Structure 1
């Protein structure tokens, strides 16, 4: 359904507007807010123009770098960790950031994996957000997207609501968001929100997913913007002292993938790990040097059916005893 702004633009002008938005975003590297200012439209319309362009296959992003033979490592990881399918992106720099190459591999997998009638739960983070440009959208029927974690007040690009909304837009689906912070001040507040503010219904939907797309986070240092304001440095040190090596949807876990006994876990507004493990298709999308320990722990706790990572992270996982 078109917005009032879209409906008022003739088709030829709409095509031109979409093309300009695409050029500014992909060729000139403008942010969505900058594009909105230049074109005299709101940011919501920019998101829709970009999503529409991807659905029409007007935007295609390719990776020109030569692909190494990663099949052996993929099979080795599948065997060692009992994963149904491993997809590795080539990445030669052990000290570099593989976010973009993992995102590209994830975008290709997601593009071919979404079908009408599906209910898909989504997490958040840099890798998932960076996968959006690599996803070829489509118009799907009866398609639902459920955010698996609360939001943040100081919203940046990695706000879970932002990713879930844009993901739903790509497939013309319905989006179901959690209208609460990712971490609240007490377990009592969490209980009240779940029982009296309608959040329980969304978590019930999360128990009926066909697929979950999630990432994991390390805890060696707080560098990612989505943690700001929720996990303090004091919290981080305390979590490390209890044995936490990272988190999946703010469920903090130790090196063996076991939830740690810490009050932050009791304050997180997110789907619990035991519920997530019951999802038929569990896709873990993550990698990077600072996440190697957390990634292994996430694999142990989630038993993912699909792992999408990078070459260097695979080497680290296989080097584990």
Structure 2
């Protein structure tokens, strides 16, 4: 609660039904004994029923579900912690890693064990953002690569351009084509999805206007992955915005052998659902509230299908 979710000592005392003095003493003792290492213990991150059911429902090789202190807790830090722990054991010598961006992925950086891994290459899968607020795609890719002392390759262009013709010209004539070519031979990709809410990363960073956001919603968009907007069924929406995004194509991402989707939150359930259907990842890292909501969505669809068959 204190180190991962950032709760105050008073809030922790209220949640656990103990005195604030007890909370302060326990935190101080843990620090004095050098017992503080921010990570999720194995016994805490295993929710066997949720993980197994997610794996079956979405064809995953592995689902990792993180605990929350309560239904209204922000899942960003817990998911980031679980992601960092997973990545620490994932990256191997000579691996080529493609990275997206987002608040959750950015939060994972604090939980990845720093190590010198030879031959690792990190490829940013999308262009950059000019109006930076705390983090952007290039900064995330660069910091991720430094953890492993890896080479880093960036798409030196804005994430959204004015036309499909501009996108084509930048890729073919302005020196960033080789980065797109590298993305065709990745070993693993780390991706997250954003929602269509006014507080989503794409809107807060002023990459898309309010009129564009409303237009995308009208076209059925429930979320985006690297500003590629999709509907709840996992289809890219028919909106001109998708033709001018400077990112590696979804078709190429789907061909990567190992795909990680790292996202969660009550406002992202539809986005995560659509992202699962769009990307068909091997690994999902999410929180317990989102996990149950995803399973409820699948169960509700299955129930409607049975009722329809009986009625027929």
Instruction: Please give the TM-score of this superposition, normalised by the length of structure 1.
Output: 0.79
Q: Does 2:261 correspond to 1:284? A: yes
Q: Structure 1 unaligned segments of length 5 or more: list them.
A: 1-25, 30-58
Task: Give distance in 2, aligned partners of 1:94 and 1:107.
Answer: 23
Q: Structure 2 unaligned segments of length 5 or more: list them.
A: 7-35, 301-312
CA RMSD of aligned residues (A): 2.1
Q: Does 2:240 correspond to 1:263? A: yes
Choose the corresponding residue for 2:149, options 166, 172, 195: 172
The corresponding residue for 2:67 is 90
Q: Does 2:231 correspond to 1:254? A: yes
Asked if the contact 1:107–1:135 (Cα under 8 Å) also holds between the matched residues in 2, the reply is yes
Q: Does 2:271 correspond to 1:294? A: yes
Residues 281 and 208 of structure 1, relative CA distance in 2, 3 Å threshold: same
Secondary structure at the aligned position of 2:168 is classed as: helix
Choose the corresponding residue for 1:209, options 186, 190, 194: 186
The corresponding residue for 2:219 is 242
Residues 165 and 288 of structure 1, relative CA distance in 2, 3 Å threshold: same
Asked if the contact 1:244–1:254 (Cα under 8 Å) also holds between the matched residues in 2, the reply is yes
The corresponding residue for 2:92 is 115
Asked if the contact 1:91–1:98 (Cα under 8 Å) also holds between the matched residues in 2, the reply is yes
Choose the corresponding residue for 1:79, options 56, 62, 66: 56
After superposing on structure 2, the runs of 4+ consecutive aligned residues of structure 1 that deviate more than 4 Å are 63-66
Asked if the contact 1:158–1:225 (Cα under 8 Å) also holds between the matched residues in 2, the reply is no
Task: Give distance in 2, aligned partners of 1:93 and 1:243.
Answer: 31
The corresponding residue for 1:275 is 252
Residues 60 and 150 of structure 1, relative CA distance in 2, 3 Å threshold: same
Secondary structure at the aligned position of 1:188 is classed as: helix
TM-aligned CA deviation for residue 69 of structure 1:
5.6
The corresponding residue for 1:6 is none
Q: How many residues align?
A: 266
Q: Does 2:134 correspond to 1:157? A: yes
Asked if the contact 2:264–2:286 (Cα under 8 Å) also holds between the matched residues in 1, the reply is yes
> What CA deviation, in whole Å up to 9, does each residue of 1:205-263 have, x standing for no partner?
01100000000000032443775231110000000000000011111001101001111
Q: Does 2:53 correspond to 1:70? A: no
TM-aligned CA deviation for residue 144 of structure 1:
0.2
